[in-house]
Every structure is written in C-alpha cells, then in structure tokens.
Structure 1
Amino acid sequence: MTKKLHKSGVTAAAGVQAAGIHAGFKKRKKDMALLYFPDGATVAGVFTKNKVKAAPVQYDQQALQQHDRFKAILINSGNANACTGKQGKADVEETVKLLSTELNIQPEEVLVSSTGVIGMFMNMETMKKGVKAIAPEVSEFGGAAASKAIMTTDTVPKEVSFTFEVAGKTATIGGMVKGSGMIHPNLGTMLGYITTDVAISQAALHAMLLKAADATFNHATIDGDTSTNDSVFVAATGKLDNPLIVSSDDAGYAEVEAAVLSICSQLAQLLVKDGEGATKFVEVLVSGAKTMADAVSVGKSVATSSLVKTAMFGEDANWGRVITAAGYAETEYFDADVIDIAFSSKNGEIQLCEAGMGVVFDEELAKKILEADEINILIDLHLGTEAASTWTCDFSYDYVKINADYRS
C-alpha cells in the first residue's frame, strides 16, 4: 500500500527538504530532525537573552555572524547540551563535521540545535548513528516527521504554512515550532524554524525576524521561564526568483515582513495552546496605556501570574488577582483608580471592575464565560491609546505532575 505524502509546514517552500527519525536520545519517540537546503539558503536567527546559553546557541550565534548562507540545520531532542562546558562546545563542532561529511557539504554550512534536559553531556555515539541514519532520509515530504522529532513535552506537533504575493509572484512560507514548558521567550522561543522561497538578504531577514519575534514570541508565556536554548531561525531559499530584497525600500519587503509576522504569531499561539497541562488558552488584552512598553509590561505581568493562571483553571472570576498583577508590573504610567477589567469568551462578556473598584456581577454568567477553552482578560488602563496582547494558558494539576518528574 502506497502511503499518501503531503508537503507541509517547514517543507512547504521550494528548496527545502527535511527528515525526522528516532536516533536513540529518547527511548522510543522520534528525537532527531534535519532541515536540508540542497542549493543553500540565506539564514537569520534570534536567540535567548538568558545569560546561560547552551553550546549550540553559542555556536549558531557565531556562525550567523560569519556567514549568511547555509545548507543544513540539525536538531536533536532529549538533551539540551547546556551547561556542558568545553565538552559541550566540542560535541557541537564534532556534530557539525559529522553532518557535513554525510551530506558532502562544508562544515560552515551547518547549524545545530538541541533541546531537552540541561546539564547532561551529549551521547556522541548516538549522535554519530543518528547523523548517518537521517542524512539519506531527507525529502520535500519530511516536514511532518521533523516537527514530531523536535518535540519534548509537547503533546502535538506544531506546523503552519501559507502562500502570499511578492512582486506579482506567489511566495510560500512555512514553519514548525516546539515548546510546551519553560516558555517565556526573550527574542525567541524554545525552538522555531521558518522557511520561505523568497530571495532576500540576511540583514533584511534578520530585521524582519527581530521585529516579528518581539511582537509575537515575546508576547507568549506559559510559565515565565526563559530557556537556555531559545532559538528561532528563518531560512530563505530564493527559489521564487524575485528581485533580491535588501532593504525596506525594496519592492516586496512589506509583504515578506507581514508574512513573517503572521507565521510567528500563529506559531506562538500554538505554543501556548499546547502549554504543559493547559486546558485553556488565555489572551490578556491591555488597552488605554500611555506607552506601548506599559501595555506590554501589564500584559506580561498578568499573564505570568500563577494566581491568575490557577484562577483561570478553576474558572473563578477572581479579578482581584488580575488588578494585583497589573499593579506590580514595571510601568511608567499607572493609576489604579481608573482601571476597568472584564472577562470574555465565546460564552459572553462580563464587567468585573470599573474605575479600580469591583462591581456587582452575575457569578453564574462569569462561571459560564470561564468554562470556555479560550478566554480573554480585558484590561483598560484609561491613560492613553496604546494597546498590546499577551498569550498565556492556565495552570492545571498536570503542569506540576509533568515538571515534578521531567528528568525521569
């Protein structure tokens, strides 16, 4: 019986191949992915601002400063290769050489990512076997397998792809992301990979990614923990054969920028919806801020509050936790006596706080609103015109269970 194959996610764009296999870092599940660009691709990346950076992150940051074209990105799950010192760096360099030999490309054309347990040395025998096994498996239909191979505590693979217009031609963009816990990105998320067939310079691509990541991944939080391995890459193969986009003045720049922003937004929300133990997707919408920085700060403060998140799980309309979290946000302009707070979902909307004080509300309606699997927390600061959204999820019993025995 012939299996029906579909190009999806990260391999949707022309010039991109991928594979995902079980190498042996995990007991049974796929744990190694490979993205391959036979004719090369321009690559840009953004990374964690955590002062503790995994060996692959350090390697990739340096590689992207020295080169703009690459042919492969190897990803393993099950071991983060973080806090592994000189040995960790040596293992990355050996991995690069192993893959470049198998693919018959130059070592400087390879990037590496890892995710998993921190503080464990990489099993290089497993790496060697995995590299040999995965290299022949790459194909334009390997995106789905790759998206499964980068998962750790994720419950579902996360892929997105769509087309858009550039210079009168139909361009394609696709991507995959992994992350379910330790998600509170600062410039990136746990691991994300975006590909497109547009011809564009590394500088232009990096500018777009930096802006998009700040507006999307940096507005997504599951548990407030930034990772040692946070990385997001965008690779452009140039197969569309459009006039090379170099700066914001070039035709097509705005369209590509919008596509990068859109796919980052979709992937970031998929992360949150698959948060460890999550039962609800929560969007915190802050309006009426004096500055954008204040809107973002209030949103993140409320979204990362354990008390707010547990209230969402318990379907308790405890708006006091929301205003408290808003009050300890780092803001320049804030007036507790003018704040309005409401909750909404597909089941309706209810006002809970007006001008900083509680109002009488229907508890049954509030309960019904919070029973939905997607909830909005609406906060109006009444100080200006700036607004921002932050995406988070609830905290359930399962979050504790998952993280209490993560290493086992």
Structure 2
Amino acid sequence: MAVGEEKLPPLHPVKGFRLGTTSAGIKTAGRPDLVVMEIAEGATVAGVFTRNAFCAAPVQQAKQYLAATTPRYFMVNTGNANAGTGAAGLRDSQSCCQAMASLAAINTDQVLPFSTGVIGEPLPVDKIIAALPAAQAALDSHGWEQAASGIMTTDTRPKAASVQIDCLGETITVTGIAKGAGMIKPNMATMLAYVATDAAIEQHLLEVMIEQAVNQSFNRITVDGDTSTNDACMLVATAQSSLAVVDDQQHPAYAMLQEAITGIFIELAQGLVRDGEGASKFVTVAVNGGQSEEECLKVAYTVAESPLVKTALFASDPNWGRLLAAIGRAGVENLDVDRISVYLNNVLIAANGCRAESYTEQQGVAAMASEEIIITINLDRGSDTATVWTSDLSHDYVRINAEYRT
C-alpha cells in the first residue's frame, strides 16, 4: 500500500557516477540486496548521518572514513543492519570494505559502507564479499533504477528523482535515490539516500548545501517518530560538467544548484512518506504564525506523530478534537488557544478555541476522504512557519512490524 503514482520519472545519468546492483542472498535468495556506487576521481562528497546513539557499525565506519579521505565507492547491503553488533560488527564492516577496495585497487578508507535491515544480527560477510565482483561488473551510469530497488527493505516501491537545469549555459544534472518506509524520523530513517550531480562544488560548500537540503526535506518527515540506527544521506558532486567550480555562496550558480538539489531531496523525502509502512494517506502538516520555526516544528511534529490523529486519518474520521489536543500538548509556552485556527484542506474546522461556526461534519468527512490531506494550523503569534510531512497509522503498519523478522 502506498499513496500516489508508482511510476518512476526519467532518471538522467550523472557523469562520473556509476551504480551496480546484484543479489548476495543476504535475507532472500535471488533478491537484489547489494549495491555498489563508483565515484570518479576529483569528486567531492558530503554526508549526514543518524543522531541515534546506537548508530550502526557501518555508520561509525563511514563517518570515520569520510573524515579521512574522499570516497571512491559506496557499498550498500540490505537485509541486515549490522547494528547492535559491537566490535564484531565493525570488523565485519571493515572486511567488506577491504574486499571492495581490493577489487577496485583503492584504499580501504575510500569505500564507505551502508547497511539496512534487521538490527542485532551478525553481518553475513562471506555472502557480501562473494557477490561484490558481480556488483562491480554491473556498474553503469544508467543503473539508478536497479539500485533504487536494490536498497529497499520494507519499501513497496523504489524512490528516485532526477532533474536537469540550465545553469549559466551548461546543462547540470541532479539525480538521486532513497529508501525507507518505517522507523522514519530522521534527525539528520531506516533511511538511506544518495544524490549526485555533475557540477563541481567545493567541499566546504557541498557540506553547507547538504545541511540546508536535509533540513528542508529528510528532517521534515515522520512516519512513526522512530529514528533509525542506520540513517545516512550522501551528496556527491562529480565535477564532470564544464561549469566552473562553485566555491562560494556568491557564485552565480550557487542558488540554482541549491534549489535543484533541495528539490530532489524534498521529492525523495516525500516519496518515503508516501510509501510509509501501511500508509494510505499522505499528510502535510503546515504550521503558520509562530514566534519561531522551532515552536512551529514542535506543533507540527506533535500533530504528525500523535497515534490518535494518525488513526483518525486512517479511518478518514474528522475527529478535530484530537488535533486540538495535540496542539495543546506540544509544549508551546503561553499559547493562546483562542487565537488558533485549524483547517483540513480548505475547510475551517476550529477557531477561537472551539469548533468553527461554519463547520459541518459533512465538510470534514469530504476533506478526510482524500488520499492527500493538508492540515493547516495558524497560531497567530508571529511570522514563522514550518511544514512536516507524515502518513496515517493503519492495521498494515502493525502487521508489517509485527512480522518483520518472520
């Protein structure tokens, strides 16, 4: 079950970035579950990782390697998170990196490992190492769609996005893939994302750009409020276009590139929510009129993560009292409830601290029947805004997670 169109858009290859996908039989025989991505020399790479204190072995290793050198390969396995595995997990992750480095004739720390799947089980190192040659042989600049499927776990469909822009007379490509359907509330969910552009972007500026893009996308989604141990989001600039290197925020191409990259991040992030485990609704929670973005986010996330709100969304039940209760417990100091108004799509349901005089149950039922719902909350206490995207909470979410290891 997922919300919206399943068909992937055309995925433009990025010069200097190739992807290869194969099956290592990690959890299911024959299922694509191992992806390698090759990065051209001269590229810059930036990453953002989970803030979960129990971060997985590959996250620890990837952060260490990324700080030491510029990566030449990403290596992604599904079916096993290699999280909660202690020192053995680090050794296993390193063994896989060494094997990939040997195949590619590069240093071990130029291979960044990523894993997703069940937590607490030993990584099947032998299976992964045995399958690496096939993944390397499959490397192709057109391998985005296969890789998008190869990194999936409980996802029901691949997520990918791509755009080409005219940037100072040069055609610049930005293409990316992502996975994640449950344990989704990034603090940078089980979430992985890989985005590449053929632009040349200076390292420090690339780090600024990924932070800005993530904060408007992957840090604005929640399916269940759980932050994974394995989250990672990577941005690669291969420097294979003819556009002069972007090395300053005043560069005439900077704003165009930031907009394009952020747009791809948002499209991927929304794709995760649309395919949230058991999701039948795609919900936008927009909070306006706050004294700060922080308090707007407090309200938005409290509403988006309320089990009572999410089950009402699944039932298409306009139970507006649950919305008011969530807003009221969001922790906003000195909140004047008499100034708040709440809309379901374009229907005013609450104002002045109670049900709006114009509201009827029929209007609410009609608004909630849609697959895509916008909950707009006006606090009327400032000029700041924030938007969060979420899904409903269905029977299938419970079933999927109850059966996850069976």
**Taking structure 2 as the reference length, what is the TM-score of the superposition?**
0.94
Counterpart contact for 2:189–2:227, Cα < 8 Å: no
Q: Secondary structure at the match of 2:248?
A: coil
Q: Secondary structure at the match of 2:393?
A: coil
Q: Secondary structure at the match of 2:72?
A: strand
Distance 2:166 2:331 in 1: 40
Give the root-mean-square deviation of aligned CA atoms.
1.6
Q: In structure 2, what residue type is equivalent to 1:310?
A: T
Counterpart contact for 2:190–2:229, Cα < 8 Å: no
Deviation at 1:332, TM superposition (A): 4.3
Counterpart contact for 1:7–1:142, Cα < 8 Å: no
Q: Secondary structure at the match of 2:36?
A: strand
Q: In structure 2, what residue type is equivalent to 1:161?
A: S
Q: Secondary structure at the match of 1:39?
A: coil
Match of 1:226 in 2: 227
Match of 2:213 in 1: 212
Distance 1:259 1:332 in 2: 37
Q: Secondary structure at the match of 2:338?
A: coil
Q: Secondary structure at the match of 2:337?
A: coil
Counterpart contact for 2:40–2:238, Cα < 8 Å: no
Distance 1:88 1:297 in 2: 36
Match of 1:365 in 2: 363
- Per mean C-alpha deviation after superposition, the further-off stretch among 317-326 and 36-45 is 36-45
Match of 1:252 in 2: 253
Counterpart contact for 1:48–1:189, Cα < 8 Å: no
Q: Secondary structure at the match of 2:43?
A: strand
Match of 1:267 in 2: 268
Distance 1:188 1:58 in 2: 16
- Per mean C-alpha deviation after superposition, the further-off stretch among 380-389 and 274-283 is 380-389
Match of 1:356 in 2: 353
Pairing of 1:271-290 with structure 2 (within 5 A): 271-290=272-291
Match of 2:43 in 1: 41
**Taking structure 1 as the reference length, what is the TM-score of the superposition?**
0.94
Distance 2:307 2:155 in 1: 21
Does 1:109 pair with 2:106?
A: no
Match of 2:373 in 1: 375
Q: Secondary structure at the match of 1:175?
A: strand
Deviation at 1:276, TM superposition (A): 0.3
Does 1:394 pair with 2:396?
A: no
Counterpart contact for 2:9–2:161, Cα < 8 Å: no
Deviation at 1:22, TM superposition (A): 1.3
Counterpart contact for 1:7–1:141, Cα < 8 Å: no
Q: Secondary structure at the match of 2:377?
A: strand
Deviation at 1:291, TM superposition (A): 1.1
- Which residue of 43, 57, 60 corresponds with 1:58? 60
Q: Secondary structure at the match of 1:337?
A: helix
Match of 2:95 in 1: 94
Match of 1:168 in 2: 169
Distance 1:327 1:211 in 2: 30
Deviation at 1:179, TM superposition (A): 0.3
Counterpart contact for 1:181–1:222, Cα < 8 Å: yes
Distance 1:404 1:338 in 2: 42
Percent identity, aligned pairs only?
38
Deviation at 1:330, TM superposition (A): 3.2
Distance 2:142 2:185 in 1: 31
Counterpart contact for 2:338–2:352, Cα < 8 Å: yes
How many pairs are equivalent? 397
Q: Secondary structure at the match of 2:59?
A: helix
Deviation at 1:293, TM superposition (A): 1.0
Distance 1:64 1:165 in 2: 31
Counterpart contact for 1:343–1:378, Cα < 8 Å: yes
Match of 2:144 in 1: 143
Match of 1:3 in 2: none
Match of 1:407 in 2: 405
Q: Secondary structure at the match of 2:325?
A: helix
Counterpart contact for 1:50–1:226, Cα < 8 Å: yes
- Which residue of 20, 27, 31 corresponds with 1:29? 31
Distance 1:373 1:394 in 2: 10
Distance 1:358 1:34 in 2: 54
Cα deviations across residues 226-263 of structure 1 (Å, max 9, x unaligned)? 00001000011000132212221223111111112111
Distance 2:315 2:53 in 1: 35
Distance 1:37 1:333 in 2: 52
Cα deviations across residues 124-159 of structure 1 (Å, max 9, x unaligned)? 111111212211111112111111010000000000
